Structure 1
Amino acid sequence: MAHFRVWRGDADGGGLEDFRVEVHEGEVVLDIIHRLQATQASDLAVRWNCKAGKCGSCSAEINGRPRLMCMTRMSVFDRTETVTVTPMRAFPVVRDLVTDVSFNYAKAREVPAFVPPAELGPGEYRMQQEDVNRSQEFRKCIECFLCQNTCHVVRDHEENKAAFAGPRFLMRIAELDMHPLDAAPQAGLDRKGTAQDEHGLGYCNITKCCTEVCPENIKITDNALIPLKERVADRKYDPLVWLGNKIRRRGQ
C-alpha cells in the first residue's frame, strides 16, 4: 500500500486529498491514478493518452518535480514515502490534475513556419547529414510542456507570458534559424531579431531547468537556446556585422 496525496479542485480552488492505495510491482504513477479512479475517486480528472511517454498528455508535478506520470515508476519512491501529485503550476487549473495549456498553442501560432526555398521544387531539397542531425534532436519534442511549466520566467511571473514564448518555442525558432534550407530572410523574416524582440529570448537566463525535466533528454539550453543567444549577440553587437549592415543600407 502507498500513501498518495492528490490535488482535487478547479479554477475556484481546491486542496490535497489523502488516499491509501494498492501498488503492484512494475507500476507507474499513472497506474495508481487510474486505480484511484476505479476504486476511490471515480470523478478524478486526469489527462492521458498513450501511456508510453510519447504523447506528452499526462504531465503533472510529482513531489514537486514536473514529470510524466506514465514514465515515473513507483519503484523510485521509498515504500514509506508519501507521493504527492499536483497539476502543472504554470498553467490555469481546469479540474484536478488537468490544466489549460492553450497558452502554448497560442505561442506556437506566433512562430512563422519553415519557408521553403523558392528556387527548389519538391524532391530537390538536399541537406548535409550533420545539419539533419542538429535539427533532429529538437524534433523529438513530444510537447508535454514540462519545460514551459518549470521555466521560472513563465512559472513565477504571469506578467511575462505575453512577451515570452518559453523554451519549447524558442527551441523551435532556433531549429528554423539553423536550418540550411529555411528561406526566411528572402521572405522578409528575421528569426534572430524576432526571437529577441517578439519572443523574449532575453528573458531566458539559461538556468537549464527546462533541460533537466525534458523526458526526451533534449539539450534545450546547450544546443538550442545558448547558440541562438550567441547568434543574436553576434548580429547585434559584432562591429563587422554592424558595418556590413550599415554599408548595405547605404547601398539601398
Structure 2
Amino acid sequence: MGYQAHFRVWRGTDDGELRDYTVEVNEGEVVLDIIHRLQATQAPDMAVRWNCKAGKCGSCSAEINGRPRLMCMTRMSTFTEDETITVTPMRTFPLIKDLVTDVSFNYVKAREIPAFTPPAGLEPGEYRMQQVDVQRSQEFRKCIECFLCQDTCHVIRDHEDNKEAFSGPRFLMRVAELEMHPLDEARNRPEEARGEHGLGMCNITKCCTEVCPEHIHITDNALIPLKERVADRRYDPLRRLFKKKD
C-alpha cells in the first residue's frame, strides 16, 4: 500500500536551493524510483544521472540524508513514512545542475596511473599466476566507479588544495591492485603512490570503505598494505644496509 512521502531535493546550480515535494511511494521502491516519479509528475526539468538501476553502473550517486549512496540501491523501506528524505548532489565534485556533478576529476586521476605492464615477450594468453594471487586482488575488480569513496574522502572533500596531489581511495586501490599482481613490471608503484598519488595524506579513517556499495575493504585490503609496502621500501634497515633496489 502506498503513502505520501516528503522529499527535499536540491534544485539548480551552486546558488540553487532545496525544494520540498510530496510524492507517492509504493511498496518495494527505491529512491531513484521516487526521483523518476518527481520528474514525470512535478519536475520535468530535474537533472539526474542514471543508467542501469541495478547497482552496477555507479551513475546515480548522490547524498541521501547527508550520506553518499546509490539512489538505485537505497530502499524506501529503510525510512519511516513520516521521515523527510533529503537528496543532494555529491558535495566533493563541481555541481552541473540539480543532482548531476562533474566527476571528470576522477578520469584525470585514472589516466595518471601507468597501465599493467607484463614481462617482455609474454603475450596475452600466456599469463600464469597462482590462484591465491588472483583472489588477492579480485575484490578490487568489483569496483563500479560510483566515486562514492572519492566523495566521502575528507582529504578531497574538505581540502580543495589537495585535489591535484591526491588521487583518492579509488585510484590508490587501483595502484594497490597492480602492485599485488605478480606479473606487473611497471615502475615502483609504492613509491609512485607515495609521491605522485599522495598516499601519505590518507589517514585510514575507513570512511571510503563504509560507503562502498560493493563492500570492498578499501582501507584494510588496499590502502594499509600499500602503506606497508612503502614503509618497507623506504625504511627497512636491511634494505638500506644492502641498498637493495626495487
Normalising by structure 1, report the TM-score.
0.95
**Separation (CA, whole Å) in 2 of partners of 1:76 and 1:109:** 38
How far has the Cα of 1:245 moved from its partner? 2.0
Q: Please list, as runs of the form range in 1=range in 2, the aligned pairs for 1:29-178 lying within 5 A after superposition.
A: 29-178=31-180
Q: 1:232 — aligned with what? A: 230
**Separation (CA, whole Å) in 2 of partners of 1:240 and 1:21:** 66
How far has the Cα of 1:10 moved from its partner? 1.3
Q: Secondary structure at the match of 1:22?
A: strand
> Letter of the aligned partner of 1:112 in structure 2?
P
Residue segments in structure 2 that go unaligned for 5+ positions in a row: none
- Segments of 4+ moved more than 4 angstroms: none
Equivalent position to 1:221, from 219, 222, 225? 219
Equivalent position to 1:8, from 8, 11, 19? 11
RMSD, aligned CA = 1.1
Q: Please list, as runs of the form range in 1=range in 2, the aligned pairs for 1:202-213 lying within 5 A after superposition.
A: 202-213=200-211
**Separation (CA, whole Å) in 2 of partners of 1:122 and 1:168:** 26
**Separation (CA, whole Å) in 2 of partners of 1:122 and 1:238:** 35
> Letter of the aligned partner of 2:72 in structure 1?
C
In the comparison of the two structures, how many residue pairs are matched? Answer: 243
**Separation (CA, whole Å) in 2 of partners of 1:121 and 1:73:** 46
Q: Deviations over 1:181-217 (max 9, x none)?
A: 1011xxxx11111100110000000000000000000
**Separation (CA, whole Å) in 2 of partners of 1:123 and 1:23:** 51
**Separation (CA, whole Å) in 2 of partners of 1:162 and 1:244:** 35
Normalising by structure 2, report the TM-score.
0.97
Residue segments in structure 1 that go unaligned for 5+ positions in a row: none
